Structure 1
Amino acid sequence: MRLIFHYVRRHWAMALTAAGFLLVETIGDLLQPTLMSMIVDRGVVRRDVGTVLRWGAVMLAVAAIGAGAAAMRNIYASRASQLIGRDIRSDTYRKVMSLGFDDVDRLQPSAIITRITNDVVQIQNFAQGLMRIMLKAPITCVGAIALIVVQIPEQTSTVAVILALAALLIWANMHVSFPRFLAVQRALDRLGVVSREFLRSIRVVKAFVMEHEERARFGAASRQFADTNVAATRVNATYGPLINLSVNMGIVAMLWLSRAQDAAHIGALMASMNYMTQVLFALNRVSMIVNSATRASASASRIQEIFDCPDEFARRGGTTGDHRGVPSRESGCEMTPHEQTRRPMPRESVHESSHGPSCDPSQGMSRPSSHDETPAVEFRDVTFTYEQAGAPALRDVSFTMDRGSTLGVIGPTGSGKSTLVSLIPRLYDPQSGAVFVDGRDLRDWDVDDLRARIALVAQKPTLFTGTVASNLRWGDPSASDTTIQRAARLACASEFVDTLPDGYDARVGQGGVNLSGGQKQRLNLARALVRGPRVLILDDCTSALDAVTEHDVLANLRSLTGAANTSSPRRNGHDGHDGHDDRMSVVVISQRIATVRSCDLIVVMDDGRVAGIGTHDELLQSCALYQAIAKSQLGGDRS
């Protein structure tokens, strides 16, 4: 609950205003039966029409004031709860964006989505109810009981028995319904998972004509959700009438005990009956309050788990502090995906790299560099294991990549290729060993500066709803039209973009649904080139391209490597005179020999280990695994 009240305090003025109007409304409701008793006892019994009209006017005015206060209470409570939900949702989203990949993997994306949506709604509903109903119920209950005791003090013992019985029933209701409401939340999570899986895989489902099976899965999840809801509501349906019965029996008992009461005080008896009705309403509301608070508390603990995760930047040597627990930022701030330093593209240049002799692949050592310069990327005895994984994904990996060169990484499925390149932009940290970029250990880099130098083009292309140009400008929001057009030409994307009716202003559907797989891959590559990286990582991102297009793309990328560019614009504080040149280095991950064979250096991976390092010709002579791959893909022609 600490998380909830932390956000309520952010909007304390609005919450207190709502509470103030709620107090006025409650006082008005409590005054109504007393005013009615005055009309009866002082007007009706005495047949004094003037008294009836006078107190009737007062009663009407109190009702009007109460109605106005109720309307204002609803306005302020609704607005405050919406702002609280907005703040929690925004803070949670921002926190998720700051988490490392290991924490995201542990929390699971689908569960994170549920927390940002359904769990926040539970907290938001609780906050709104807190300011609209939950404060009113105990005030009404206490006030009504006090007025009953004042007006009919001899009924105090009867009221006490009624309240004790009602409290016992409410406690039993809470005890029985709590686990059932937790089951409802779990069933709702399951229903959401099934729905999201179907929507993500709708093409596969239709292609394999599996609609019937998916309907059955959704039907089973929906029935489970309905059954758990029925079980939970059945408890309330049982205990609610029992609570009503106990209070109504108390009203009957009070009427029976007051049968000999003076007729002149019949109005006070009527008021007491009305107050007992208000007590009944308040007790039912108290039961709802407890259930709502329980749900909100469970949701808050799930969101707090996200906030308790350390920031990736703090844990990995960045500049952002480790914000554990409840966030303390100013509310209402939004973070854009472009809040980091961007750099222009490197100038095109051509350079041929040369290397010394290959190392002994059996030792897994790095290939010595023939350049007397700091390597672009270096792995030193790196071992990495995913959380909850049974075996390391990488084992004692070592190699060196020269600046301005191309590095190919090849190996069978599951050999650790994608894991290897995910360490370069520090998406994960190795358990042992070290990774160096530009001669600096990744743990010594500011994470923003490091990732500003690196562009990763993943296996699965990702595009966003918008235009072609807006997607390319994810690489650099300030990029000019000339820059994005040049990047598209280098990625061989201009050949189809130029044919679109609106060119670079053509609309891109969600996820690039209106583009082919090869077109999406080329746009993803162009976006990375707009960024102007020092290290470009291609994680099997040309798999959907035909052989000719892939050859042209790789040839264009080689034109960006190998030649120093000390006259390029200033980038993140590096102006070309600090010992660092602007030659781009390219890492190519692939399972195809044809893709990596022209790379300056090739690393062969097998079961997380380096099986061989060298050029294509050298590996054909020294690496048995590379020979087997070449034979299976190239047949007799392995030149």
Structure 2
Amino acid sequence: MRLIFHYVRRHWVMALTAAGFLLIETIGDLLQPTLMSMIVDQGVVHADVGVVLRWGALMLAVALIGAGAAAMRNIYASRASQLIGRDIRSDTYRKVMALGFDTVDRLQPGAIITRITNDVVQIQNFAQGLMRIMLKAPITCVGAIALIIIQIPEQTPTVAVILIIAALLIWANMHLSFPRFLRVQRALDRLGIVSREFLRSIRVVKAFVMEHAERARFGAAARGFADANVSATRVNATFGPLINLSVNMGIVAMLWLSRSQHAAQIGALMASMNYMTQVLFALNRVSMIVNSATRASASAARIKEIFDCPNEFASATSSHESDSKDRNDVMLPTSSSAVTLHNVTFTYEQSAVPALRDITFTMARGATLGIIGPTGSGKSTLVSLIARLYDPQSGTVMINGRNAREWDVDELRAQIALVSQQPVLFTGTIRSNLQWGDPQADAERIRRAAHLACADEFIETLPGGYDARVGQGGVNLSGGQKQRINLARALVRNPHILILDDCTSALDAVTEHEVLANLRSLTAASPNATSTSTAAAAPAQPNHLSVIIISQRITTVRTADRIIVMDNGHIAGIGTHNELMRTCELCQAISASQLGGDRHE
């Protein structure tokens, strides 16, 4: 609850204004039975029409004031709750953007979406109810009880017993509801994850005619969510009527004890019954408050879990300072090595087996490094460490002669462009997607990058050219077109290190050869660009591009200055293509399976 009230305090003026109008409304409601008793005891009993009219006019005026206060209370409460929801959602989203990949993997993207949407809605509803109804219920309850005791003091023991019973029932309701509502939100997480996975892989599902399996999986998640909701609402369905019963029994007891009441005090008795009805209403509202607060507390705990997660990496500069820098205006060390890994071992959080074990190599600046190996051998994990998407558990990753942990993350990534295996495009235009590489890039720079990626040849044939629309996820483009746009976007960035993670798999052999030749022209080839030690490599021109190419195809990496052969998380061989064909059995096997024999240059 501390998290919720932290955000309520941000808009305390609006919240207090809503509470002030709520107080006026509540006072008006509490005055109505007393005014009615005055009409009965002083006007009706004595047949005094003037008294009835005077008290009746006052009663009407109080009702009008209360109605106006209720309208203003609704306006301010709704506005404040929307602002609170906006702030929580924005802060949560910013925090998610600062989380590391390992934390996102642990929390799961589908569950994070549920927290940003549904959990925030639960808190927003609680905040709105707090200012609209929840404050009114205890004030009404206390005020009504006080007025009953003032008008008929003999009923004090009866009222006390009713309150004790109701308080015990409300406490039991809250105690039993919290874990059940927490399970509801977790079940909703599961439902969101299943839905997201289906929508993301809908083409595969339809291609394999597996709709029945997905329906069964979704049905199981939906049943789990429904069962959790039933379990949670069953508690309220049990305790709500019990609270009603206890208050109604109290009303019966008060009428029984007042059976000898003098007729002249019949108005006070009527007022007391009205006040007991208000107490019943207030206790029902308190029960609703407990349920809403319980759900909001469970949701707040889940959002707080995100806030309590450590940020991705400690940054030497603030995000604002980093954003104000030119992404290409980063001073590079004078080291001749672009990338150095020394005794690096890395294990994913949810895995017991290391993905990388004792990796050591050095890559010179301006060189081209190829990485090849079987599926699951650790190739993509290796380059994720270079881009510092993860930190290794042991060993050192050096970028441009400096420990990656010592770099400001934004500065480090400003020098590196990673083109992933799965192309990612955003709804907009070709130009807007390419400008993700650098929003300040001019048309000439964009065209040059597209030319190097062999993307200009098809972009110019599209309706609108570089201003052609791109559907969600690039649905209106082929796989090869999307890969070339992703590569062009990376080149717009003008990186110092370019990492290609099997990003040419959808290209034909001729186009791939042309793309690699274009990239080769940006590098400074060196015959000894990569070695298995951390010693300084041969010097290279500082402004040349260093390229790391990951591929399943040996034809893609065979012209690289050095090739690393990965196998089960460790380096099985390193050298030129010809050297590996003489010394590395795994490389020989890959070449034989793909080229049909022991072919090498």
Q: 2: CA distance between counterparts of 1:196 and 1:494? A: 34
Q: Please say if residues 496 and 543 of structure 2, whose CA atoms lie closer than 8 Å, have aligned partners that are also in contact.
A: yes
Q: Which whole-Å deviations, capped at 9, do the CAs of 1:482-505 have from their partners, x for residues lacking one?
A: 111111111111111111111111
- Secondary structure of 1:214's match? helix
Which residue of 2 is the match for residue 136 of structure 1?
136
1:503 aligns with 2:434: no
Which residue of 2 is the match for residue 187 of structure 1?
187
What letter is aligned with 2:210?
A: M
Query: Which residues in structure 2 correspond to 1:235-246 (within 5 Å)?
Result: 235-246=235-246
Which residue of 2 is the match for residue 106 of structure 1?
106
Give, in angstroms, the shift of residue 27 of structure 1: 0.7
Which residue of 1 is the match for residue 390 of structure 2?
428
Q: Which whole-Å deviations, capped at 9, do the CAs of 1:510-540 have from their partners, x for residues lacking one?
A: 1111111111111110100000000000001
1:382 aligns with 2:344: yes
Give, in angstroms, the shift of residue 468 of structure 1: 0.7
1:528 aligns with 2:493: no
Give, in angstroms, the shift of residue 340 of structure 1: 6.5
Q: 2: CA distance between counterparts of 1:453 and 1:388? A: 30
Distance 1:143 1:411, change over 3 A: same
Q: 2: CA distance between counterparts of 1:236 and 1:100? A: 40
Distance 1:387 1:288, change over 3 A: same
Which residue of 575, 597, 619 maps to 2:580? 619
Give, in angstroms, the shift of residue 336 of structure 1: 14
Moved more, 475-484 or 44-53: 44-53
Distance 1:580 1:276, change over 3 A: farther
Which residue of 327, 337, 341 maps to 1:342? 327
Distance 1:544 1:441, change over 3 A: same
Give, in angstroms, the shift of residue 604 of structure 1: 1.0
1:418 aligns with 2:380: yes
Which residue of 2 is the match for residue 447 of structure 1?
409
Q: Please say if residues 600 and 615 of structure 1, whose CA atoms lie closer than 8 Å, have aligned partners that are also in contact.
A: yes
Q: 2: CA distance between counterparts of 1:401 and 1:178? A: 56
- Secondary structure of 1:391's match? coil
- Secondary structure of 1:94's match? helix
Moved more, 116-125 or 227-236: 227-236
Which residue of 1 is the match for residue 535 of structure 2?
none
What letter is aligned with 2:270?
A: M
Give, in angstroms, the shift of residue 235 of structure 1: 2.9
Give, in angstroms, the shift of residue 337 of structure 1: 12
- Secondary structure of 1:598's match? coil
- Secondary structure of 2:86's match? helix
Which residue of 2 is the match for residue 347 of structure 1?
none
Give, in angstroms, the shift of residue 580 of structure 1: 7.5
Give, in angstroms, the shift of residue 461 of structure 1: 0.7
- Secondary structure of 1:376's match? strand
1:145 aligns with 2:130: no
Q: Please say if residues 311 and 320 of structure 1, whose CA atoms lie closer than 8 Å, have aligned partners that are also in contact.
A: no
Q: Which whole-Å deviations, capped at 9, do the CAs of 1:115-145 have from their partners, x for residues lacking one?
A: 1112111111111111111111111110000
Q: Please say if residues 435 and 442 of structure 1, whose CA atoms lie closer than 8 Å, have aligned partners that are also in contact.
A: yes
Q: 2: CA distance between counterparts of 1:411 and 1:318? A: 36
Query: Which residues in structure 2 correspond to 1:81-92 (within 5 Å)?
Result: 81-92=81-92
Which residue of 2 is the match for residue 25 of structure 1?
25
1:481 aligns with 2:467: no
Which residue of 1 is the match for residue 316 of structure 2?
318
Give, in angstroms, the shift of residue 86 of structure 1: 1.0
Which residue of 2 is the match for residue 607 of structure 1?
568
Moved more, 380-389 or 628-637: 380-389
- Secondary structure of 2:391's match? coil
Q: 2: CA distance between counterparts of 1:237 and 1:166? A: 15
Query: Which residues in structure 2 correspond to 1:181-580 (within 5 Å)?
Result: 181-314=181-314, 318-320=316-318, 341-343=326-328, 374-562=336-524
Q: 1: CA distance between counterparts of 2:402 and 2:181? A: 53
- Secondary structure of 2:349's match? coil
Distance 1:380 1:485, change over 3 A: same
What letter is aligned with 2:413?
A: R
Which residue of 2 is the match for residue 364 of structure 1?
none
Q: Please say if residues 335 and 401 of structure 2, whose CA atoms lie closer than 8 Å, have aligned partners that are also in contact.
A: no
Q: 1: CA distance between counterparts of 2:244 and 2:94? A: 46
**Count of residues in Structure 1 that have an aligned counterpart in Structure 2:** 584
Q: 2: CA distance between counterparts of 1:269 and 1:373? A: 93
Q: Please say if residues 30 and 144 of structure 2, whose CA atoms lie closer than 8 Å, have aligned partners that are also in contact.
A: yes
Which residue of 586, 592, 606 maps to 2:547? 586
What letter is aligned with 1:586?
A: V
User: How high is the sequence identity, in percent, across the aligned residues?
Assistant: 79
1:598 aligns with 2:559: yes
Give, in angstroms, the shift of residue 35 of structure 1: 1.0
- Secondary structure of 1:427's match? coil
**TM-score, normalised by the number of residues in structure 1:** 0.88
Distance 1:381 1:222, change over 3 A: closer
Structure 1: 5+ residue runs without aligned partners?
322-334, 345-371, 565-578
Moved more, 4-13 or 173-182: 173-182
- Secondary structure of 1:529's match? helix
Q: 1: CA distance between counterparts of 2:511 and 2:223? A: 51
Q: 1: CA distance between counterparts of 2:151 and 2:145? A: 10
- Secondary structure of 1:302's match? helix
Q: Please say if residues 371 and 548 of structure 2, whose CA atoms lie closer than 8 Å, have aligned partners that are also in contact.
A: yes
Which residue of 2 is the match for residue 363 of structure 1?
none
Q: 1: CA distance between counterparts of 2:326 and 2:108? A: 29
Which residue of 1 is the match for residue 531 of structure 2?
none
What letter is aligned with 1:466?
A: G
Q: Please say if residues 563 and 583 of structure 1, whose CA atoms lie closer than 8 Å, have aligned partners that are also in contact.
A: no
- Secondary structure of 2:279's match? helix
Q: Please say if residues 340 and 452 of structure 1, whose CA atoms lie closer than 8 Å, have aligned partners that are also in contact.
A: no
Q: 1: CA distance between counterparts of 2:281 and 2:322? A: 49
Q: 2: CA distance between counterparts of 1:337 and 1:18? A: 41
Q: Which whole-Å deviations, capped at 9, do the CAs of 1:253-288 have from their partners, x for residues lacking one?
A: 212221221212211111110100010011111111
Q: 2: CA distance between counterparts of 1:580 and 1:63? A: 84
Q: 2: CA distance between counterparts of 1:228 and 1:215? A: 20
Distance 1:184 1:558, change over 3 A: same
Distance 1:438 1:181, change over 3 A: closer
What letter is aligned with 1:597?
A: R
Q: Which whole-Å deviations, capped at 9, do the CAs of 1:442-493 have from their partners, x for residues lacking one?
A: 1221211111110000111111111111010000001111111111111111
Q: 1: CA distance between counterparts of 2:119 and 2:579? A: 57
Distance 1:580 1:100, change over 3 A: farther
1:171 aligns with 2:171: yes
Give, in angstroms, the shift of residue 607 of structure 1: 1.4
For the aligned residue pairs, the C-alpha RMSD in angstroms reads: 2.2
